[in-house]
């Protein structure tokens, strides 16, 4: 557990010294400030509140997309992957530490997105996310799903960044997956509470499966480089 926190701390330190990444993250937050003031013409999102909710979720999914390619794919690009793995640390601990870092920043962004959009909707439109017809418990379930999918994208981005040479191509693919995930969350919002819980449970199961796949792929990739 101590090693896990060491890896997590290392990733936050790396993030703090990377000006380009910090600027990008701040820019993503700045986009939220104008989100409620944009007029959307999306057929399935028939209210302004729904548009703000699901577009903010889509923006949230861009965080693990970019960070997973940078945090894990960057190790391969800068040829530091072997050095990292050769340390007396389990591969699963390394993966877990890096994905936890991505998840924390993404969850923080999701929280900021919810607060900012709700505040601006109340101040300027006298409405809120609650006006889309969902109970607060259902909204909470949607955000729990979002966090699960954040982790899924983090693992998926990690796997692709290790197996595909072109990081940009990996990013495009994960972006398409992100759009599909938002559509799945939208469908889940229109399900009964029981089906929503099943959907959340399935997402959690996928997280566990991808964790083991990611660990396996990382190990195989390192062995291939060594040989």
3-state SS of the chain is CHHHHHHHHHHHHHHHHCHHHHHHHHHHHHHHHHHHHCCCCCCCCCCHHHHHHHHHHHHHHHHHHHHHHHHCHHHHHCCCHHHHHHCCCCHHHHHHHHHHHHHHHHHHHHHHHHHHHHHHHHHHHCCCHHHHCCCHHHHHHHHHHHHHHHHHHHHHHHHHHHHCCCHHHHHHHHHHHHHHHHHHHHHHHCCCHHHHHHHHHHHHHHHHHHHHHHHHHHHHHHHHHHC
Q: What are phi and psi of 61, to 5 degrees?
A: -70, -15
Q: 90 vs 6, 24, 85, 208, 218, CA distance in Å? A: 13, 31, 8, 17, 11
For position 53, what pLDDT does the model report? Answer: 82
Length of the chain: 227
CB neighbours of residue 12 within 10 Å: 11
Q: Minimal CA–CA distance to 155: which of 75, 225, 198, 216?
A: 216
- pTM here is 0.85
Q: Which residue has the tokens 């290392």?
A: 10
**List of the chain residues with pLDDT < 50:** none
For position 147, what pLDDT does the model report? Answer: 92
For position 74, what pLDDT does the model report? Answer: 66
Question: Cβ distance 103 to 8 under 8 Å?
Answer: no
Q: Minimal CA–CA distance to 211: which of 77, 93, 57?
A: 93
For position 127, what pLDDT does the model report? Answer: 80
The per-residue pLDDT for range 62-89, each reduced to its tens digit, is 888 888 877 766 666 656 666 666 666 7
């Amino acid at each position: 557990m101590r090693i896990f926190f060491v890896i997590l701390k290392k990733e936050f330190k790396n993030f703090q010294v990377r000006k380009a990444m910090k600027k990008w993250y701040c820019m993503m937050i700045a986009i939220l400030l104008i989100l409620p003031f944009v007029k959307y013409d999306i057929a399935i999102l028939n209210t302004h509140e729904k548009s703000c909710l699901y577009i903010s979720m889509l923006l949230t999914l861009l965080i693990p997309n970019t960070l997973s390619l940078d945090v894990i794919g960057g190790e391969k690009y800068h040829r530091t992957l072997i050095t990292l793995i050769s340390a007396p640390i389990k591969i699963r601990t390394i993966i877990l530490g890096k994905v936890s870092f991505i998840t924390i920043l993404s969850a923080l962004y999701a929280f900021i997105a919810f607060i900012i959009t709700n505040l601006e909707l109340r101040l300027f439109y006298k409405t809120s996310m609650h006006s889309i017809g969902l109970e607060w418990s259902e909204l909470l379930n949607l955000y729990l799903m979002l966090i699960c999918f954040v982790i899924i994208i983090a693992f998926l981005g990690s796997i692709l960044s290790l197996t595909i040479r072109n990081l940009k191509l990996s990013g495009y693919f994960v972006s398409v997956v992100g759009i599909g995930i938002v559509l799945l969350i939208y469908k889940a919002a229109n399900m009964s509470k029981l089906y929503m819980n099943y959907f959340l449970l399935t997402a959690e199961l996928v997280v566990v499966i991808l964790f083991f796949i990611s660990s396996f792929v990382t190990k195989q990739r390192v062995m291939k480089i060594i040989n």
